[in-house]
Protein backbone atom coordinates (compact mmCIF):
# COMPACT_ATOMS: atom_id res chain seq x y z
CA UNK A 1 0.00 0.00 0.00
CA UNK A 2 1.32 3.47 -0.77
CA UNK A 3 1.86 6.01 2.01
CA UNK A 4 -0.79 8.29 0.54
CA UNK A 5 -3.59 5.76 0.52
CA UNK A 6 -2.64 4.67 4.02
CA UNK A 7 -3.02 8.23 5.28
CA UNK A 8 -6.33 8.59 3.45
CA UNK A 9 -7.64 5.39 4.97
CA UNK A 10 -6.57 6.48 8.40
CA UNK A 11 -8.18 9.85 7.96
CA UNK A 12 -11.37 8.14 6.79
CA UNK A 13 -11.39 6.00 9.91
CA UNK A 14 -10.92 9.00 12.18
CA UNK A 15 -13.72 10.91 10.50
CA UNK A 16 -15.94 7.85 10.86
CA UNK A 17 -15.07 7.64 14.57
CA UNK A 18 -16.11 11.25 15.03
CA UNK A 19 -19.41 10.78 13.24
CA UNK A 20 -20.23 7.40 14.69
CA UNK A 21 -18.66 6.70 18.10
CA UNK A 22 -17.03 3.27 18.34
CA UNK A 23 -19.27 0.40 19.30
CA UNK A 24 -18.39 -2.52 21.53
CA UNK A 25 -18.03 -5.58 19.33
CA UNK A 26 -19.82 -7.75 21.90
CA UNK A 27 -22.81 -5.72 23.16
CA UNK A 28 -22.95 -3.37 20.16
CA UNK A 29 -23.45 -0.26 22.30
CA UNK A 30 -21.57 2.94 21.51
CA UNK A 31 -18.94 3.40 24.20
CA UNK A 32 -16.22 5.89 24.99
CA UNK A 33 -13.90 3.39 26.53
CA UNK A 34 -13.02 0.30 24.54
CA UNK A 35 -10.16 -2.10 25.09
CA UNK A 36 -9.40 -4.06 21.93
CA UNK A 37 -12.85 -3.06 20.64
CA UNK A 38 -14.62 -4.47 23.71
CA UNK A 39 -16.19 -2.29 26.41
CA UNK A 40 -15.20 -2.45 30.07
CA UNK A 41 -18.65 -3.79 31.02
CA UNK A 42 -18.30 -6.75 28.67
CA UNK A 43 -14.75 -7.48 29.83
CA UNK A 44 -16.14 -7.49 33.36
CA UNK A 45 -18.66 -10.18 32.42
CA UNK A 46 -16.12 -12.97 31.89
CA UNK A 47 -16.95 -15.98 34.05
CA UNK A 48 -14.77 -18.60 35.72
CA UNK A 49 -14.13 -21.75 33.72
CA UNK A 50 -16.03 -25.00 34.23
CA UNK A 51 -14.03 -27.96 35.55
CA UNK A 52 -11.93 -29.54 32.80
CA UNK A 53 -10.47 -33.01 33.15
CA UNK A 54 -6.70 -32.79 33.12
CA UNK A 55 -5.03 -35.01 30.52
CA UNK A 56 -2.65 -37.43 32.25
CA UNK A 57 0.31 -36.16 30.26
CA UNK A 58 -0.04 -32.70 31.83
CA UNK A 59 1.17 -31.99 35.39
CA UNK A 60 -0.87 -28.87 36.06
CA UNK A 61 -3.73 -27.51 34.01
CA UNK A 62 -5.20 -24.04 34.54
CA UNK A 63 -8.20 -22.82 32.59
CA UNK A 64 -9.13 -19.16 32.94
CA UNK A 65 -12.66 -18.56 31.78
CA UNK A 66 -15.89 -20.06 30.61
CA UNK A 67 -16.34 -20.05 26.83
CA UNK A 68 -19.72 -18.37 27.18
CA UNK A 69 -21.48 -15.94 24.82
CA UNK A 70 -19.33 -12.94 25.76
CA UNK A 71 -16.01 -14.68 25.38
CA UNK A 72 -17.22 -16.61 22.33
CA UNK A 73 -17.92 -13.29 20.57
CA UNK A 74 -14.49 -11.95 21.52
CA UNK A 75 -12.62 -15.13 20.56
CA UNK A 76 -14.52 -15.40 17.31
CA UNK A 77 -13.40 -11.92 16.36
CA UNK A 78 -9.85 -12.66 17.52
CA UNK A 79 -9.56 -15.93 15.59
CA UNK A 80 -11.68 -15.52 12.51
CA UNK A 81 -12.04 -11.83 11.76
CA UNK A 82 -8.49 -10.60 11.58
CA UNK A 83 -8.28 -8.95 14.97
CA UNK A 84 -4.81 -9.85 16.27
CA UNK A 85 -4.92 -6.69 18.42
CA UNK A 86 -7.24 -8.53 20.82
CA UNK A 87 -4.29 -10.66 21.98
CA UNK A 88 -3.07 -7.94 24.34
CA UNK A 89 -6.26 -7.30 26.36
CA UNK A 90 -7.01 -11.06 26.38
CA UNK A 91 -3.54 -11.73 27.78
CA UNK A 92 -3.95 -9.02 30.42
CA UNK A 93 -7.22 -10.48 31.64
CA UNK A 94 -5.80 -14.00 31.52
CA UNK A 95 -2.75 -12.93 33.56
CA UNK A 96 -5.00 -11.39 36.24
CA UNK A 97 -7.19 -14.46 36.27
CA UNK A 98 -4.25 -16.85 36.70
CA UNK A 99 -3.03 -14.72 39.58
CA UNK A 100 -6.48 -14.84 41.20
CA UNK A 101 -6.42 -18.62 40.79
CA UNK A 102 -3.08 -18.73 42.60
CA UNK A 103 -1.30 -20.23 39.63
CA UNK A 104 2.46 -19.84 40.09
CA UNK A 105 4.90 -20.21 37.21
CA UNK A 106 7.96 -22.33 38.00
CA UNK A 107 10.92 -21.77 35.67
CA UNK A 108 8.53 -21.72 32.72
CA UNK A 109 9.07 -21.67 29.00
CA UNK A 110 5.94 -20.56 27.16
CA UNK A 111 5.13 -22.69 24.14
CA UNK A 112 1.93 -22.07 22.17
CA UNK A 113 -0.09 -24.94 20.75
CA UNK A 114 1.22 -24.66 17.20
CA UNK A 115 -0.92 -24.18 14.11
CA UNK A 116 -0.21 -25.99 10.88
CA UNK A 117 1.70 -23.65 8.52
CA UNK A 118 -1.13 -23.84 5.97
CA UNK A 119 -3.69 -22.66 8.52
CA UNK A 120 -1.35 -19.97 9.79
CA UNK A 121 -0.84 -18.69 6.25
CA UNK A 122 -4.56 -18.66 5.63
CA UNK A 123 -5.22 -16.62 8.79
CA UNK A 124 -2.02 -14.62 8.87
CA UNK A 125 -1.30 -15.56 12.49
CA UNK A 126 -1.72 -18.26 15.11
CA UNK A 127 -4.06 -16.93 17.84
CA UNK A 128 -2.57 -19.18 20.56
CA UNK A 129 0.91 -17.95 19.67
CA UNK A 130 -0.14 -14.30 19.89
CA UNK A 131 -1.76 -14.96 23.24
CA UNK A 132 1.31 -16.82 24.58
CA UNK A 133 3.65 -14.13 23.30
CA UNK A 134 1.69 -11.29 24.92
CA UNK A 135 1.36 -13.19 28.18
CA UNK A 136 5.08 -13.99 28.29
CA UNK A 137 5.88 -10.32 27.57
CA UNK A 138 3.54 -9.11 30.34
CA UNK A 139 5.13 -11.52 32.84
CA UNK A 140 8.66 -11.07 31.48
CA UNK A 141 9.06 -14.82 30.98
CA UNK A 142 10.62 -16.78 28.10
CA UNK A 143 8.53 -17.44 24.98
CA UNK A 144 9.71 -20.16 22.58
CA UNK A 145 7.27 -20.87 19.74
CA UNK A 146 10.01 -22.75 17.88
CA UNK A 147 9.98 -25.67 20.36
CA UNK A 148 6.77 -27.21 18.99
CA UNK A 149 5.47 -27.56 15.44
CA UNK A 150 2.34 -29.02 13.94
CA UNK A 151 3.39 -31.27 11.14
CA UNK A 152 0.00 -32.66 10.18
CA UNK A 153 -3.07 -30.72 9.16
CA UNK A 154 -6.11 -31.98 11.06
CA UNK A 155 -9.81 -31.44 10.64
CA UNK A 156 -11.57 -29.68 13.48
CA UNK A 157 -11.56 -32.14 16.37
CA UNK A 158 -15.12 -31.38 17.37
CA UNK A 159 -16.41 -32.48 13.96
CA UNK A 160 -14.95 -35.99 14.18
CA UNK A 161 -16.19 -39.19 15.83
CA UNK A 162 -14.24 -40.44 18.85
CA UNK A 163 -12.05 -43.14 17.33
CA UNK A 164 -11.19 -40.92 14.43
CA UNK A 165 -10.02 -38.13 16.70
CA UNK A 166 -7.45 -40.34 18.38
CA UNK A 167 -6.15 -41.55 15.04
CA UNK A 168 -5.93 -38.09 13.49
CA UNK A 169 -4.00 -36.73 16.47
CA UNK A 170 -1.26 -39.33 16.15
CA UNK A 171 1.99 -37.78 14.90
CA UNK A 172 0.41 -34.36 14.61
CA UNK A 173 3.13 -32.57 16.58
CA UNK A 174 6.88 -32.45 16.62
CA UNK A 175 8.65 -31.14 19.73
CA UNK A 176 12.33 -30.23 20.05
CA UNK A 177 14.32 -31.88 22.87
CA UNK A 178 15.72 -29.84 25.79
CA UNK A 179 19.15 -28.33 25.09
CA UNK A 180 21.66 -25.90 26.72
CA UNK A 181 19.35 -22.97 26.11
CA UNK A 182 16.30 -24.82 27.36
CA UNK A 183 17.39 -27.11 30.21
CA UNK A 184 15.51 -30.21 31.28
CA UNK A 185 14.75 -28.55 34.62
CA UNK A 186 12.55 -26.00 32.86
CA UNK A 187 8.80 -26.51 32.76
CA UNK A 188 7.06 -26.24 29.47
CA UNK A 189 3.91 -24.16 29.75
CA UNK A 190 1.70 -25.05 26.81
CA UNK A 191 -0.65 -22.21 25.93
CA UNK A 192 -3.97 -22.58 24.14
CA UNK A 193 -6.91 -20.26 23.58
CA UNK A 194 -9.89 -22.61 23.73
CA UNK A 195 -9.80 -26.14 25.13
CA UNK A 196 -12.65 -28.50 24.28
CA UNK A 197 -11.86 -32.09 25.20
CA UNK A 198 -8.23 -31.53 26.18
CA UNK A 199 -7.12 -34.18 23.68
CA UNK A 200 -5.12 -31.86 21.45
CA UNK A 201 -3.13 -30.25 24.23
CA UNK A 202 -2.79 -33.66 25.92
CA UNK A 203 -1.31 -35.04 22.73
CA UNK A 204 1.11 -32.14 22.47
CA UNK A 205 2.23 -32.81 26.07
CA UNK A 206 2.65 -36.49 25.25
CA UNK A 207 4.88 -35.64 22.30
CA UNK A 208 6.87 -33.25 24.51
CA UNK A 209 7.43 -36.00 27.10
CA UNK A 210 8.68 -38.33 24.41
CA UNK A 211 11.11 -35.57 23.38
CA UNK A 212 12.56 -35.50 26.89
CA UNK A 213 10.63 -32.78 28.75
CA UNK A 214 9.92 -33.88 32.33
CA UNK A 215 7.65 -31.12 33.58
CA UNK A 216 4.74 -29.90 31.57
CA UNK A 217 1.96 -27.51 32.51
CA UNK A 218 -0.81 -26.19 30.33
CA UNK A 219 -2.76 -22.96 30.56
CA UNK A 220 -5.85 -22.32 28.46
CA UNK A 221 -7.72 -19.07 28.19
CA UNK A 222 -11.11 -20.74 28.28
CA UNK A 223 -13.14 -23.94 28.10
ZN1 LIG B 1 -19.79 -4.25 25.48
Q: 214: domain CATH number?
A: 3.40.50
13 has pLDDT over 70:
no
CA-CA distance, 148 to 203, in Å (whole number)? 12
Dist. CA 2 → ligand 1 center (Å): 35
Q: Give how many domains the chain has, as a whole number.
A: 2
Q: Supply the pLDDT for residue 170.
A: 83
Q: What percent of the chain has pLDDT over 90?
A: 71
User: 32-55 pLDDT, tens per residue?
Assistant: 889 999 999 999 999 999 999 999
Same domain membership, residue 189 and residue 169: yes
The residue ranking higher by pLDDT, 2 or 113, is 113
11 and 52, same structural domain? Answer: no
Over 70: is that where the pLDDT of 152 sits? yes
My answer on whether 134 and 208 are in the same domain is yes
Q: Are residues 97 and 39 in the same domain?
A: no
Instruction: Kindly state whether residues 40 and 53 are assigned to the same domain.
Output: no
| Same-domain pairing of 197 and 141 | yes
Give the pLDDT score at 7.
73
Same domain, 25 and 54: no
Is pLDDT above 60 for 183? Answer: yes
Say whether both 50 and 37 belong to one domain.
no
Are residue 13 and residue 107 in the same domain, yes or no? no
The CA 18 to ligand 1 mean position distance, Å, reads: 19
Task: Say whether both 144 and 201 belong to one domain.
Answer: yes
Mean predicted confidence (pLDDT) in 3-24? 70
Domain residues for the domain of 22 are: 1-44
pTM value is 0.86
Q: Which of 32-41, 65-74, 79-88 has the highest mean pLDDT?
A: 65-74
**8 A C-beta contact, residue 10 and residue 38:** no
How close is the Cα of 23 to the center of ligand 1, in Å? 8
In a shared domain, residues 64 and 171:
yes
pLDDT one-digit tens code per residue, 111-123: 999 999 998 898 8
Helix extents (H) in the chain: 3-19, 40-43, 69-80, 87-100, 117-123, 127-139, 162-169, 199-210
Amino acid sequence: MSGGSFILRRLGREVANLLWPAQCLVCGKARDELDGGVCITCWGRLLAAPAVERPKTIDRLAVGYSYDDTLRAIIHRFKFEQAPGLARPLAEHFRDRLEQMGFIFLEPIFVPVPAHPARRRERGYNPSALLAKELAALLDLPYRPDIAARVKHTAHQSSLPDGERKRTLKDVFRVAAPDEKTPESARLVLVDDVVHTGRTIGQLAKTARKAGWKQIDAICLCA
